[in-house]
Amino acid sequence: MKRVLVTGGAGFIGSHLCEKLIQEKNRVICVDNLGSGRKANLKNIINNPYFVFIKRDIIRPFKIPGKIDFVYHLASYASPPYYQKHSIHTLMTNSLGTYNILELARQKRARFLITSTSEAYGDPLVHPQREDYWGNVNPVGIRSCYDEAKRFGEALTMEYVRKHGLSAVIIRIFNTYGPRLQKDDGRVISNFINQCLAGRPVTIYGSGNQTRSFCYVSDQVAGLMLAMKSGKTAGEVINIGNPDEFTVKEAAHIIKKLTGSKSGIVYRPLPQDDPARRRPDIRKAKKLLNWKPAVKLEEGLVKTISWFKNVR
Ligand code: UDP
């Protein structure tokens, strides 16, 4: 039986990953400071004998006795309002924290997967974004606490590959949604669903012509697990996301339709450095992992909306 460490395991993606790992008969150690994660996200597995939850902030080094075979390193604030509110903590989590987890993985000779982000491409000038594009990031803007910290994490991971022979893979996660998105995290999908369900106006920032490509959480988790298991991914950077691209305005209309909401639309200023277009090129994931997303936006939104209805 494999022993797996998941940092950020009480978060949105992390909790789905932990559940899937338990289903696949792994022992799972979940470390989370509950900064944006929630213990409620773990309710299906918290009493499972093969699951352990440890409340801890990875900024400070810690030890875990016994072997660890796989490390999934997800811990970080990830939604723009949250990481901007906790900007210094976000920088430290993705630098010091990532260093601590890399050291742990090195000592345990574990395979290491770090979740980086499509924000590594900044406001991209190349479209769609392929892994070998270096990006267009404002190093001192309000998003840099996340973008640059994640880029540092990628650089540090690659040095562990080169200097220590660590078997590590970097995944650039593109916008992901699904049940357990936090209600107040300020992201577009959660905001629009909550606004529609409450009959409040839907807040479009800027013109609404900016685009995003939304990946359903089960597809995301499947991609992460395949990347971890694959023998071909050491030292590789791989995009995992859904290439179906929508404008924010289109997303608002789809969510209004699916919720049957009569909410109006209001326009708010576009936040600084908000990327104009974002869409992953996923040919590398298809080739290396034989992975592609299976869930279409409307199908995933129906499940997400029904989850939000139940938690309200
Ligand atoms: N957005 C919006 N209304 C909202 C929340 C977000 O129009 O209530 C826009 C935001 O400006 C961005 C896109 O939706 O262009 C996606 O934002 P999100 O915060 O979900 O994540 P990002 O992809 O920017 O990291």
- Per-residue pLDDT of 153-176, as tens digits, reads 999 999 999 999 999 999 999 999
Q: Token pair for residue 27?
A: 């022992």
Q: If you measure from the C-alpha of residue 186 to the centroid of ligand 1, how many angstroms do you get, rounded to a whole number?
A: 8
| Strand pairing class (176-177; 215-216) | parallel
pTM for this prediction:
0.97
Question: What residue type is 99 in one-letter code?
Answer: Y
Closest CA to 211 of 122, 274, 119: 274
Question: What residue type is 271 in one-letter code?
Answer: P
Domain range annotation of the chain: 3-177+215-243+279-294
- CB–CB of 76/83 below 8 Å? yes
Torsion of CA 201, 303, 220, 26, to 10 degrees: 130
122: left (phi over 0), alpha (psi -120 to 50) or beta: left
pLDDT tens for each residue of 84-103: 999 999 999 999 999 999 99
Say which CATH topology domain 3-177+215-243+279-294 has: Rossmann fold (3.40.50)
State yes or no: cis peptide before 128, omega within 30 of 0: yes
- Measured CA to CA, the distance from residue 54 to residue 45 in angstroms comes to 14
Ligand 1 pocket test target in 205, 210, 242, 304 with most atoms within 8 Å of CB: 205
- Return the pLDDT at 311: 86
Bridge partners, residue 225, by sequence: none
Q: Where would I find the beta strands (DSSP E) of the chain? A: 3-7, 27-32, 51-55, 70-73, 111-117, 168-173, 176-177, 202-205, 211-213, 215-216, 237-240, 245-247, 265-268
Give, as one character, the DSSP assignment of residue 92.
H
- Return the pLDDT at 312: 63
The CA radius of gyration of the chain, in Å to the nearest whole number, is 19
Residue 294's alpha-carbon distances to 67, 221, 227, 254, in angstroms, are 34, 12, 17, 19
- Measured CA to CA, the distance from residue 292 to residue 140 in angstroms comes to 35
Task: Give me the active site residues, please.
Answer: 146
SS3 229: helix
Q: Is the pLDDT of residue 231 over 90?
A: no
pLDDT tens for each residue of 110-119: 999 999 999 9
SS3 96: helix
**Mean pLDDT (whole number) for 10-16:** 98
pLDDT tens for each residue of 42-85: 999 999 999 999 999 999 999 999 999 999 999 999 999 999 99
Q: If you measure from the C-alpha of residue 192 to the centroid of ligand 1, how many angstroms do you get, rounded to a whole number?
A: 10
Closest CA to 239 of 263, 223, 261, 252: 223
pLDDT confidence band for 183 (50 / 70 / 90):
confident
Q: Is the pLDDT of residue 128 over 90?
A: yes
Q: If you measure from the C-alpha of residue 219 to the centroid of ligand 1, how many angstroms do you get, rounded to a whole number?
A: 21
Ligand 1 pocket test target in 212, 246, 270 with most atoms within 8 Å of CB: 212
- Return the pLDDT at 66: 97
Ligand 1 atom nearest 251 alpha carbon: 14
- Measured CA to CA, the distance from residue 308 to residue 232 in angstroms comes to 38
Q: Is the pLDDT of residue 237 over 90?
A: yes
Average pLDDT score over the chain: 97
